[in-house]
């Protein structure tokens, strides 16, 4: 049962940077935490929102699937195949659910099905890999071990670990880091990306006016990075409320969302607006 879970919303963010040519613009759709949910028949509402957005690429910060031993992810794999046909540039980094099926033996069946589905869709996960997205934009997908998604506690990412996993960031390009869990924001900042895209928290499930999200998947009350735009030491992070739900299928004052991300060139300095 979903409460206040329809229709799906589009939230737009514009980031300006001198690393792009003045007047140049790139548009991406960001779909996070679908968890095999369906919006309309054959995801017609989601696909309709994307059509209006006219993105040149789609960025996925993980958890498109649900990890469970007998899962087949069929609906989501079908959607990904359709998306790749419509939008050839898809940048998909794993969340904790994708990571779980690769790490735990009891999910082996689902892992095999997932790999086959991704191959049929013509896609691959960005597991600590980077891709040039044109217009001096580089997108990097971070794949952290499942131990960094522990409930109740936040395990800090060791100093220098992102450099070991990803290599040092090339500061001459506009770097987008796809990092599923926003709790590690201070650790991500040290890698010096320009923008971080996250999800995972589902907006806090229940959003209270003036207070934000109530609880995170790690069972922490009033998570600091629940949804929206955050900034630290000149690095921005956008956290999606997610397009779906799982286990506790309740979203109150917290409709599912996808993001429209616009990156614009600017002559001097950079700023953001949402």
Residue pLDDT, tens place only, 134-159: 999 999 999 998 888 887 777 889 99
DSSP summary character for residue 35: T
- Predicted confidence band of residue 3 (pLDDT cuts 50, 70, 90): very low
Indicate whether 265 pLDDT > 90.
yes
* Residue % of the chain over a pLDDT of 70: 95
Indicate whether 273 pLDDT > 60.
no
Which residue would you say has higher pLDDT here, 188 or 211? 188
> d(Cα 51, Cα 45) in Å, to the nearest integer?
10
Indicate whether 2 pLDDT > 70.
no
Pairing, β 195-198 against β 174-178: parallel
146's CB contacts (< 8 A; 6+ apart) are 96, 99, 100, 103, 104
- Exposure of 128 by Cβ count < 10 A (0-12 exposed, 13-18 middle, 19+ buried)? middle
Q: Mean pLDDT of all residues in the chain?
A: 91
Closest by alpha carbon to 109, among 157, 143, 65? 65
Residues in the chain: 274
Indicate whether 4 pLDDT > 50.
no
Pairing, β 25-30 against β 235-239: unpaired
6's CB contacts (< 8 A; 6+ apart) are 39, 45, 255, 256
Domains and CATH numbers, the chain: 9-273 (3.60.21.10)
Q: Residues 81, 43: contact at Cβ < 8 Å? A: no
- Please calculate the CA angle 4-183-144 and round it to the nearest 5 degrees: 110
Q: Residues 165, 128: contact at Cβ < 8 Å? A: yes
């Amino acid at each position: 049962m979903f409460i206040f879970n329809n229709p799906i919303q589009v939230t737009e963010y514009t980031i300006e940077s001198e690393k792009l040519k003045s007047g140049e613009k790139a548009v991406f759709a960001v779909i996070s935490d679908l968890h095999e949910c369906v919006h309309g028949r054959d995801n017609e509402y989601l696909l309709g929102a994307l059509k209006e957005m006219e993105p040149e690429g789609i960025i996925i910060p993980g958890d498109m699937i649900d990890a469970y031993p007998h899962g087949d992810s069929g609906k989501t794999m079908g959607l990904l195949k359709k998306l790749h046909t419509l939008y050839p540039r898809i940048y998909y980094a794993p969340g904790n659910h994708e990571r779980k099926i690769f790490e735990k033996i009891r999910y082996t069946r689902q892992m095999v099905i997932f790999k086959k589905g991704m191959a049929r869709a013509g896609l691959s996960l960005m597991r600590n890999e980077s891709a040039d997205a044109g217009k001096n934009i580089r997108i990097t997908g971070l794949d952290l071990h499942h131990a960094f998604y522990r409930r109740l506690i936040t395990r800090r990412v060791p100093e220098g670990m992102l450099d070991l996993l990803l290599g040092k960031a090339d500061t001459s390009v506009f770097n987008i880091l796809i990092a599923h869990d926003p709790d590690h924001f201070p650790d991500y900042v040290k890698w010096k990306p320009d923008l971080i895209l996250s999800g995972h928290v589902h907006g806090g499930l229940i959003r209270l006016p003036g207070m934000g999200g109530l609880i995170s998947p790690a069972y922490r009350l009033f998570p600091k990075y629940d949804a929206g735009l955050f900034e630290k030491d000149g690095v921005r992070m956008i956290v999606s409320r997610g397009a779906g739900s799982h286990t506790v299928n309740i979203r109150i004052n917290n409709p599912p969302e996808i993001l429209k991300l616009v990156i614009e060139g600017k002559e001097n300095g950079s700023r953001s607006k949402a």
